[in-house]
Amino acid sequence: MATELHETIFMAKQERHRNLFLNYKNLNKFPVELLKDEGLQFLERLYMKRNLLTTLVHTHFRHQPWNFSCLTFQTIGNLARLQSLDLCNNALQLLCPEIGRLRSLRHLRLSNNQLKCLPPEIGDLQDLEILDLSMNQLMFLPERLHRCLSLQNLTVDHNLLSHVPRHVCWLHRLNQLSMAANRLTFLPLDLGRSRELQFVFVDNNAELKGLPSYMYNKVIGCSGCGVSSHVAEGSISAVLGEALSEVLVGLPPEVKVVGSEADNVVPLEELALRTLHLTVTASLCVDLTALPPITLPKSLMDLLLFPLGHCHRCSQAMFTIIYPKLFPLRDTALAGVHRRTTVSFVAYCCSSHCLRTFDLQG
Ligand SMILES: [Zn+2]
């Protein structure tokens, strides 16, 4: 097998292959020949499905960090034209940060491995269009993923995600998001706000009881969600009140106030943040170079640029407060399509006025 592998790689280098198929080779380590010399600089697609890889860091270099960093700097450069990398069905536990140097990568398939986390450098893959992470052990997604601005299709089915970073809502080219069979309890307020996002699959997240109202006009999969909820006896308002409190379980920690129709005054801290947000975003739009030296702490700047969400009624940015309104899916026109679920659509508004005037189909 070793000789055959060696010959395959040798031929690919000699003949400047653009595709290299190393599926079903019983590889237990990443072939170092792939990273040597310059022969593979023409490689665009590398398939390594169904092997026994446990890491992309070559074991030989693991204890020599200096050599390792030098080597990878050069070697990953050799694969600079690589557009497609298929490492499905291995036993990968780690993905080296140098993956971020594969700047031409458009398709990255890592399903059915043992990944527990991803390096933030994955956010450097500006051309990445398809990212398949299904069937791993991921508990969270890196926030820097929102820098993958070309991403169109993100699949994270069958992992251990309990939440999705709200930064995912800034992936403006994302068309399909699939997060079935995780442990989601809550989705970002802005999910679905982007027109480009048309397909959202969150089936089999039993604790998920609410979908942001932006998703009302999308293709959604939500079978097996909210299954533990029961229809309570009592007045409609009491039932809705109970359902609403269930939906709000697991809200992000930024939410300090959950307002209702009776709360007409928005807290001062929230008003201050909204005003700052308008100032910051307006000045960024005008001319970045004309900005005065920013005196705000970086964490506050980040907060102002990536608010908690936007009012589903008027698009006002929100930071610490939400005014939620519930629309049980079974009461909507979609009820017939989604019989196997008890989830509700939730509108998140910025004020009691928007709460009163919001209409799901408006
Ligand atoms: Zn509003």
Domain extent at residue 98 = 2-160
Q: Which of 61, 56, 85 is nearest to 71 (CA)?
A: 61
Structural tokens at position 213: 């109202």
Flag whether 296 is in a domain.
yes
Residues 15 and 148 occupy one common structural domain: yes
**CA 197, CA 163: separation in Å to the nearest integer?**
18
CB proximity list for 65: less than 8 A, separation 6 or greater: none
**CA 55, CA 19: separation in Å to the nearest integer?**
22
Q: How confident is the model at residue 57 (pLDDT cuts 50, 70, 90)?
A: low
Which residues, listed in sequence order, are joined to residue 323 by a DSSP beta bridge?
Answer: 349
SS3 176: strand
Question: In angstroms, what is the span from residue 312 Cα to ligand 1's centroid?
Answer: 7
**For residue range 178-211, what is the model confidence (pLDDT) as tens digits?**
999 999 999 999 999 999 999 999 999 999 999 9
Kindly state the average pLDDT of the residues 308-317.
Answer: 96
Q: What is the largest CA-CA distance in the chain?
A: 77
Question: In angstroms, what is the span from residue 307 Cα to ligand 1's centroid?
Answer: 14
Flag whether 137 is in a domain.
yes
Phi-psi region of 26 (alpha: psi -120 to 50; beta: other; left: phi over 0): left
Among 227-231, 270-274, 349-353, name the one with the lowest average pLDDT. 227-231
**For residue range 126-158, what is the model confidence (pLDDT) as tens digits?**
999 999 999 999 999 998 999 999 999 999 999
Flag whether 205 is in a domain.
no
Question: In angstroms, what is the span from residue 354 Cα to ligand 1's centroid?
Answer: 5
Q: What is the per-residue pLDDT for 291?
A: 54
- Judge whether residue 73 has pLDDT over 80: no
Q: How many structural domains does the chain have?
A: 2
Q: Where are the beta strands (DSSP E) in the chain?
A: 19-21, 45-47, 84-86, 107-109, 130-132, 153-155, 176-178, 199-201, 210-212, 219-221, 257-258, 309-310, 317-318, 321-328, 344-349
Residues 349 and 242 occupy one common structural domain: yes
Q: What is the per-residue pLDDT for 77?
A: 53
The last residue of one of the domains, among 122, 142, 160, is 160
Question: In angstroms, what is the span from residue 302 Cα to ligand 1's centroid?
Answer: 22
Question: In angstroms, what is the span from residue 189 Cα to ligand 1's centroid?
Answer: 13
Q: Which CATH number goes with the domain that contains 38?
A: 3.80.10.10
Highest mean predicted confidence (pLDDT) among 17-21, 32-36, 267-271, 309-313: 309-313
Flag whether 275 is in a domain.
yes
Question: In angstroms, what is the span from residue 318 Cα to ligand 1's centroid?
Answer: 9
Residues 126 and 258 occupy one common structural domain: no
Highest mean predicted confidence (pLDDT) among 161-165, 195-199, 281-285: 195-199
Flag whether 279 is in a domain.
yes
188-202 as b/e: b if 16+ CB within 10 A: bbbbbbbeebeebbb
Question: In angstroms, what is the span from residue 82 Cα to ligand 1's centroid?
Answer: 45
Residues 150 and 31 occupy one common structural domain: yes
* Average pLDDT, rounded, for the chain: 84
Return the HEC string of 318-330. ECCEEEEEEEEHH
**CA 31, CA 115: separation in Å to the nearest integer?**
20
Question: In angstroms, what is the span from residue 241 Cα to ligand 1's centroid?
Answer: 21
Q: What is the per-residue pLDDT for 301?
A: 78
- Judge whether residue 63 has pLDDT over 60: no
pTM reported for the whole predicted model: 0.84
Contact 164, 141 (CB under 8 A): yes
Flag whether 218 is in a domain.
no
- Judge whether residue 306 has pLDDT over 80: yes
**For residue range 316-346, what is the model confidence (pLDDT) as tens digits?**
999 999 999 999 888 888 888 888 788 999 9
Flag whether 230 is in a domain.
no
Flag whether 104 is in a domain.
yes
Residues 151 and 9 occupy one common structural domain: yes
- Judge whether residue 311 has pLDDT over 90: yes
SS3 18: coil
Question: In angstroms, what is the span from residue 107 Cα to ligand 1's centroid?
Answer: 38
The last residue of one of the domains, among 160, 192, 218, is 160
Residues 249 and 120 occupy one common structural domain: no
The last residue of one of the domains, among 135, 160, 185, is 160
Question: In angstroms, what is the span from residue 350 Cα to ligand 1's centroid?
Answer: 4
Residues 6 and 137 occupy one common structural domain: yes
